[in-house]
Amino acid sequence: MNYPFAMKLTCLEKLPLIAIIYLAVVFGCQPNQPNQELGQQKDTPPNVVLIFLDDGAYDDFEPFGRPLYPTPHVKELANEGTSYFNFHVPQAICSASRAALLTGCYPGRTKVFGAHAPTAKGLDPSYATLGEILKAQGYVTACFGKWHMGDQEDTRSHARGFDETAGLMYSNDMWKYHPENPDYWGQWPLQYWENGEITIDSVDQEDQKMLSTWYTEKTVDFINRHRDRPFFVYVPHSMPHVPIFCSDKFEGKSGTGLYGDVMMELDWSVGQINQAVKDNGLEQNTVFIFIGSDNGPWLSYGDHAGITPYREGKGTSFEGGLRNPCIIKYPGQLPAGGESHKMFASIDIVPIICGLTNSKLPENEIDGKDVWNYLIGDDIANPHAYYAFSNGTEFQGVISGDGSWKLHIPHQYRTVEKGGMGGLPGKYVQYQIDTALFDLIHDPFEKGDVKEVYPEITNELLELAAQHQSRFYSE
């Protein structure tokens, strides 16, 4: 299925060697500005910064959308790195998406489905996290933000490979002010943890306003203190998951309502973290990954949710739920200002980072692949034959490895009948989709089923889907 949808990356021109030598002699070489070609491995292991938003939307930031509020810091990061417009998650909901990102495994393998309640066990410790992998490699590690992969003694973030931690163990709506089920979610206090200790026993509205700031300040401080050794910092922001809050310094700043204010604060956070890397002279040897959401927007919340040009949103397997913005900055490896439509997914992040840091893959089997050469090369095929997607415990289809075709097998999905206002949810209705094939090159909005036009492709993807289902969902 060679149906290319990859915008070729343009290589940066190199200065002539004599000019480099001249500049080095006259002005003095800066220690963190190596003169390597794109794709050349560095001499020292890179630092890793991984930012992951919660319930964001494809159009939240430039260059992916054109929001009515400014997002200069994400735009600056895009200008310094490469933007990926065809990045996917395997399941469009909190816990499942996070576990896939940090383990490189499909939800069907780890059995982390949906969004876990506080009582859930979470990710089985037999599956290594990226924190554990890099810590074993000698990295100092940190997680500042929403964990949501277990709130038990052996499944919290400080027990899963992170030396320093701070944040919530689950979603910020799982509290006594939940708009639909306050009695149920109010059974458990929403606690703020730091380094294995509860520092706020019951988070209130004023605390929620400070979450984005606290996560950012913790991250900047961590970078400042660990500039002299390889580090990995994971920043899974709680926002813009409802209920949305921002600090006083951003309230009313966007002129577009609270959601815009929240996004401007998240944009500020990206800028603060990016600047901390620069201020410490680490920019040239840091892999900086920004993923605009763990899934698409929670459309039911109307004006407290973002906008995606694609079909549906969070909690569905359409592109509006699975396709999310991604920017990777790694000077000398990726071109500044690059744009790519190459298909890859969150399950590939672990093997990519293992490859770039020369770390061993976990002993447990994973599903992601090191697609780095594919991402930086013009004529290299994706090693994945397909990417699978699911919703909850239900497997729902596959996308071809080159991102050209998407096959849904029969399943129900929800769509918004009427969006809510002011932080209250609207109304969903249920629909059914039968076996359907979509041409993602010409129809990324999944409007026209073409299975009758391309029966051979349909059958090929049906066979891959059957193999995946038999392997992971046969119990």
Query: pLDDT in tens for each of the 475 residues of the chain?
Result: 433 333 333 333 333 433 333 333 333 333 333 334 444 446 789 999 999 999 999 999 999 999 999 999 999 999 999 999 999 999 999 999 999 999 999 999 999 999 999 999 999 999 999 999 999 999 999 999 999 999 999 999 999 999 999 999 999 999 999 999 999 999 999 999 999 999 999 999 999 999 999 999 999 999 999 999 999 999 999 999 999 999 999 999 999 999 999 999 999 999 999 999 999 999 999 999 999 999 999 999 999 999 999 999 999 999 999 999 999 999 999 999 999 999 999 999 999 999 999 999 999 999 999 999 999 988 899 999 999 999 999 999 999 999 999 999 999 999 999 999 999 999 999 999 999 999 999 999 999 999 999 999 999 999 999 999 999 998 6
Q: Is 13 helix (H, G, I), strand (E, B) or coil?
A: coil
**CA–CA dist 335, 8 (Å, integer):** 11
Q: Count H helices and E strands in the chain, helices first.
A: 12, 17
**CA–CA dist 82, 74 (Å, integer):** 12
Global confidence as pTM? 0.91
Roughly what angle, to the nearest 10 degrees, separates helices 94-103 and 349-357? 30
pLDDT score, position 378:
83
Q: Is 438 helix (H, G, I), strand (E, B) or coil?
A: strand
Residues 6+ apart with CB under 8 A from 13: none
Scanning the structure block, which residue is given the tokens 């159009």?
59
The token pair at 22 is: 């001249």
Residue 164 parent element (H or E): strand 164-168
Residues 6+ apart with CB under 8 A from 209: 245, 246, 247, 248
pLDDT score, position 42:
61
pLDDT score, position 162:
98
pLDDT score, position 130:
98
Instruction: With beta carbons less than 8 A apart as the criterion, state whether 211 and 194 touch.
Output: no
Query: Which CATH number is 388-472's, of 3.40.50, 3.90.320, 3.30.1120, 2.30.42?
Result: 3.30.1120
Instruction: With beta carbons less than 8 A apart as the criterion, state whether 306 and 61 touch.
Output: no
Q: What is the largest CA-CA distance in the chain?
A: 71
The token pair at 332 is: 């000398």
Residues 6+ apart with CB under 8 A from 172: 146, 190, 203, 208, 211, 238, 241, 243
- DSSP alpha helix (H) spans, 226-300: 258-279
Q: Is 389 helix (H, G, I), strand (E, B) or coil?
A: strand
Residue at 191: amino acid letter: Q
Instruction: With beta carbons less than 8 A apart as the criterion, state whether 102 and 129 touch.
Output: yes
**CA–CA dist 33, 283 (Å, integer):** 8
Nearest by Cα to 350 from 155, 87, 99: 99
What's the CATH superfamily of 45-381? Alkaline Phosphatase, subunit A (3.40.720.10)
Residues 6+ apart with CB under 8 A from 94: 54, 114, 115, 116, 148, 171, 241, 294, 295
The structural domains of the chain, with segments of one domain joined by +, span 45-381, 388-472
The long-range contacts involving 367-371, CB below 8 angstroms and separated by at least 24 positions, are 367/104, 367/105, 367/106, 367/109, 368/104, 368/105, 371/344
- Count of other CB atoms within 10 angstroms of residue 205: 10
